Structure 1
């Protein structure tokens, strides 16, 4: 079964001989893998909290700075990879550019608004440090999706790919989406178990029956 002609044509404009393409792909996969491994180790051993003299808040902020810095490096490597790739004329028209700006706008809105709702510790895995939120976040953008930061970031990647007119960027965006979907499958159940444990302990302390809640 052959690929659709349009997709086949787009793939012809991907230069798989460029080292920067694979470096970008590796960076995209590395970041969520890194923060999930570090955060889970922190949850089980408190090694970061101990390194910061028992101050979980400082430890969480240190991880936040590290994750944010790795994100900037990932974005730089992605932009460099796009510059090394050929452009496709179909992605350089005005409609494509309008779509690119719309994706970038909505994507950044999702990321910024979700960070605003959660705060620094809520955004950067504070629950793994024992810094838990009191209530479920249900306002925008969490009333649209339970992972607005991931989907917003994916939209921004796609918007950048179209803005640059690079089919390779679209392929890397698909890679981004797959990596994030895998990360969600690991993160959501684990985070839910953290809050379930907290709620169970609270109910036990209050002498009330425990009732499971929707994850944050």
Structure 2
């Protein structure tokens, strides 16, 4: 019986390494930016240019990750059971839905909202609740994972399904760090705004007493 996953292929391990590296990189880089503003400093303190720079980097790393994934799939065994028409339809639906979630979440958040703008001090005015955020809490990560699964089924590669499961595991770990940190950033803004409102109220009361 043919092995469903060929672990001897270097391309498989390189793909897994790329999948691990990307969220690790952007979390470390963004957190350092939040604490030290090192990326913004490279652009003369311009936070927006710094955010665009890391957005370009993350996007480029994503393209490399996808290319490495496809190269790994090409060297992996094919399972005839996954070549049935119904599986192909499921694969196409998963890939299309996944890309829809990724693209619409990017549109809803904008470049700075998508690519860690809050770590640069570029915060959104309010929480986005439109599609796809009214369907999923993390549509970009879910959509990306769905696209990996869809591609794996389309090419009838069991190894791809294994990699897809690893993609979701890596994203889940990343979310466990990103979620609380982002909440902390917005909580600090709320505290500062409340402090300003309190100060204004105190000043207004003083003015009224003088009158």
Structure 2 length normalisation: TM-score? 0.93
Compute the displacement of 1:143 (Å). 1.1
**Counterpart in 2 of 1:137?**
128
Deviation at 1:115, TM superposition (A): 0.2
Q: In structure 2, how many angstroms separate the alpha carbons of the residues matched to 1:158 and 1:176? A: 10
Q: CA deviation at 1:12?
A: 2.9
Partner of 1:198: 189
What are the ranges of 5 or more consecutive residues in structure 1 without an aligned counterpart?
Answer: 1-8, 209-216
List per-residue Cα deviations over 1:7-29 (Å, max 9, x = no partner). xx8x9311111000000000001
Any conservation in 1 of the 2:3–2:77 contact (CA below 8 Å)?
no
What pairs with 1:101-140 in structure 2 (closer than 5 Å)?
A: 101-140=92-131
Deviation at 1:144, TM superposition (A): 1.5
Q: Which residue of 2 aligns with 1:213?
A: none
Unaligned runs of 5+ in 2: 200-211
Whole-Å Cα distance in 2 between the matches of residues 12 and 203 of structure 1?
A: 61
Larger Rg: 2
- Cα RMSD for the two superposed structures: 1.2
Moved beyond 3 Å, runs of 4+: none
Which is helix-richer, 1 or 2? Answer: 2
Deviation at 1:145, TM superposition (A): 1.5
- 1:9-50 deviations in Å (ceiling 9; x for gaps): 8x9311111000000000001000000000000000000111
Q: Which digits, 9 at most, give the CA deviation of each residue in 1:97-149, with x for residues without a partner?
A: 00000000110010000000000000000000000000011111111121100
Instruction: Choose from 61, 74, 80 the match for 2:65.
Output: 74
